[in-house]
Amino acid sequence: MRFFHLSDLHIGKQLHAYSLRDNQQAALSQVVERAREYRPDAILICGDIFDRAVPSGESYAVFDKFLQELSAITPTIPVMMVAGNHDNAQRLGYASSFLEKHQIYLSVSAPTQQEDHLKKIVLHDGYGEVNFYLLPFLKPGYVRHLFAEGAVRSYESAVREIIGRENIDYGKRNVLLSHQFYTNGGQEPKRCESEQLVISLGGLENVDVSVVEKFDYVALGHIHGAQKVKFPHIRYCGTPLKYSVSEEHHRKSITMVTMGEKGEGIAIETLPIEPVQDVRKVRGLLKEVIESATDENRHDFLSVILTDEKEPYHPKEQLEEAYDCILEVRVDNARTRNRLQGQGEEFCQQPMEMFRSFYQEMQGQPLTAEEEAMVEGIVDEWEEGT
C-alpha cells in the first residue's frame, strides 16, 4: 500500500505582511499532480489545515479547489484528515458527512462520550487490510472525564489512554494520524520559528514516542521540519512551504510511504515541492545585495543583513527597487555589535517594547494608538498580578 503524508498546510498564512495564497495554491497543485502520477492508495493530512481558527473566505476557496481536484482523480483516492491546534473543530468539520460520500474523511475532535471512539478507516491491498486511526489534536482536559480519576494528568497520558481504549490488534497493519508534540525520551524534535508552540514548564505537552511505537507507521503533524522521531516509521513530514526564514535550507516535499506485508517495514520517499517564491537570507554590503538581484531571484522573500559600516540612506527603499518582497532589514557592523556588547547582561526589553517589535515584524506596521492602549492595559494587569 502506498500513501502520501502531508501536514501543516496552514492555508491563509502570511509571511510577515505578505500573502502566501499563490504559493499555497501552487504547492497544493503539485500535490494533485503527484497524486495523478503516483496514484497513491490514500492521502493523509495531519492537522493545521488552516492557519487560523476562523479562516477567511479566500482560504476556504483554496482548500475547496484542492479537494475538488483530488476528488476528480479516478479511481478515487481516499483523503484522511485530522484537526490540528490551529483548526476550529466545528468549522473544519462542517459538511463532513457529505465529504465522506466522496471518500474524504475528517476527524476534528477527540472522543467526548464513552461510546465514542477514534475514527477508523480500513483499506485493503494484496496483503489484506490496513487500519488507519485518526487522532486529532487533544489536550488532557478534552478527555479526562472518560477515565478514572488521576488516569489523565498530562498530554502523554491523554494520548496513551485514548489509544489504549481502542483495543488495537497490533498483529495487523495499523497507521496512526496524529497532531501532537512527540519526543524521544525527552529529546525534542528540531523546531522552526514558524511553529507557534508554547514551551510548557516540565515539558507537559510532550508525548513520548513509546506511546505509539507499535503502529506500523505514525503520520505526524505539528512540527514544520521533516524528521523522524527515534524510529523511521514515526515521522513528521514538515510543511509544504517555507513559513519562516529559519526554514531557508529546508527542502519541502511530499512524504510518500510504501508499506508491504506485516513485518516487512516501510519504504519512504520524498517528492519535492518547488516554491513559486523561495525564502532566503542574504548578507553583505547594500550595493552587493542589490547587484545580486536577477530575474530569477528578485521575487523571493528576503531577510537582509547589511554589513555596511556607514549606515546607508533608506536601505529598505533601495532594496525594494531591486526585490519584490523584503521581509526584514537588519544591520550587522562594528557599531551594532559594540552596542549589543555594551548592553551585556543588563540589556532587558520591557514587555511593551518586545510586543511593539513583535507586532511590527509580523504585521509590517506599528500598533495603532487604540491597539497600544489595549495592550498596555493587558500588560498593566499582568504586572499587577505578578
Question: pLDDT (tens digit, 0 to 9) for every residue of the chain, 386 residues total?
Answer: 999 999 999 999 999 889 999 999 999 999 999 999 999 999 999 999 999 999 999 999 999 999 999 999 999 999 999 999 999 988 998 888 889 999 999 999 999 999 999 999 999 999 999 999 999 999 999 999 999 999 999 999 999 999 999 999 999 999 999 999 999 998 888 888 877 654 444 467 999 999 999 999 999 999 999 999 999 999 999 999 999 999 999 999 999 999 999 999 899 999 999 999 999 999 999 999 999 999 999 999 999 999 999 888 899 999 999 999 999 999 988 887 777 676 554 445 567 777 776 676 556 577 887 787 788 778 766 655 55
Could you count the other beta carbons within 10 Å of the beta carbon of residue 103? 16
Cα–Cα dist 81/8, whole Å: 11
| Grid cell digits, residue 230 | 527515534
CATH number of the domain bearing residue 290: 3.30.160
Q: Are residues 344 and 363 in the same domain?
A: no
Sequence-ordered alpha helix ranges (H) in the chain: 21-38, 57-71, 89-93, 96-100, 140-143, 155-164, 286-291, 315-322, 334-343, 351-363, 369-385
Cα–Cα distance list, 19 to 119, 260, 277, 363 (Å): 34, 41, 11, 11
Beta-carbon count within 10 A of 147 CB: 16
The total of structural domains in the chain comes to 3
Residues 332 and 356 in one domain: no
Whether 241 and 307 map to the same domain: the answer is: no
314 shares its domain with 204: no
**How many helical (H) and strand (E) elements, i.e. helices and strands, does the chain have?**
11, 19
> Which residue segment(s) compose the domain that 263 sits in?
2-272
Same domain, 217 and 204: yes
The whole-model pTM stands at 0.85
Among 224, 245, 272, give the residue marking a domain's end: 272
For residues 204 and 301, membership in a common domain is answered with no
Query: Among positive and negative, which fits the CA dihedral 234, 268, 20, 74?
Result: negative
